């Protein structure tokens, strides 16, 4: 039920029903928490991911005091769950590292690219390498976007290339294609690495 609720929440996010997504995820987490806590790592991971997806949903309408406080609250609750038992379960890769990765993503979604980069720098590289290649790639895409927004374009290109090496399919997403296209326009003299990446993404250079 918890895993299904997480998928429903993501569906609501896709429909841009952000307030409904936050409410559904948090209400479900509150209702199921006693049972999920009794199911060890799998239950706790499912519970923690409900709070993380709620944090992402809270950013849907853009930066506001309410969005910041709601997302922060959900991240903190997820961190508390991770501290109960950091072993991941239910194929979620949930744990303190995943909470930190979500924190960086949430900050970026709330238009705070500088803080997103600062949060990303605090994450132990060794801990990130323990995650799936897809999850590592998505994290690098987050840092690439934050780097681009803070005019660290070479860092953005580096992170995108590393993300591609880990999981090329992650760079086929529309938002990533837009980022690569924007870098092509912003960099005065695009390097062979950037133009090559753009061509592999199906963009004209």
Within a 10 A sphere around the Cβ of 154, how many other Cβ atoms?
A: 13
Written as tens digits, the pLDDT of the chain (205 aa) is 999 999 999 999 999 999 999 999 999 999 999 999 998 889 999 999 999 999 999 999 999 999 999 999 999 999 999 998 766 666 678 999 999 999 999 999 999 999 999 999 999 999 999 999 999 999 999 999 999 999 999 999 999 999 999 999 999 999 999 999 999 999 889 999 999 999 999 887 7
Domains of the chain, residue spans = 1-95
Q: What is the pLDDT of residue 93?
A: 86
According to the 3-state scheme, what is the secondary structure of the chain?
A: CHHHHHHHHHHHHHCCCHHHHHHHHHHHHHHHHHHHHCCHHHHHHHHHHHHHHHHHHHCCCCCCHHHHHHHHHHHHHHHHHHHHCCCCCCCCCCCHHHHHHHHHHHHHHCCCHHHHHHHHHCCCHHHHHCCCHHHHHHHHHHHHHHHHHCCCHHHHHHHHHHHHHHCHHHHHCHHHHHHHHHHHHHCCCCCHHHHHHHHHCCCCC
């Amino acid at each position: 039920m918890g895993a299904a609720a997480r998928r429903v929440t993501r569906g609501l996010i896709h429909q841009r029903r952000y307030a409904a997504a936050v409410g559904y995820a948090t209400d479900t987490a509150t209702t199921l928490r006693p049972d999920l806590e009794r199911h060890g790592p799998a239950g706790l991971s499912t519970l923690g991911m409900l709070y993380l997806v709620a944090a992402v949903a809270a950013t849907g309408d853009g930066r506001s005091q309410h969005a910041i406080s709601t997302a922060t609250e959900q991240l903190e609750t997820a961190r508390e769950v991770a501290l109960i038992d950091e072993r991941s379960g239910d194929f979620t890769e949930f744990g303190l590292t995943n909470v930190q990765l979500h924190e960086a993503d949430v900050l970026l979604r709330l238009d705070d690219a500088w803080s997103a980069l600062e949060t990303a720098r605090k994450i132990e590289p060794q801990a990130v390498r323990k995650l799936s290649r897809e999850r590592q790639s998505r994290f690098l895409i987050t840092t690439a976007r934050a780097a681009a927004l803070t005019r660290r374009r070479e860092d953005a290109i580096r992170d995108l290339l590393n993300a591609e090496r880990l999981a090329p399919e992650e760079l086929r997403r529309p938002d990533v294609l837009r980022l690569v296209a924007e870098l092509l326009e912003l960099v005065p003299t695009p390097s062979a690495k950037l133009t090559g990446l753009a061509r592999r993404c199906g963009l004209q250079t």
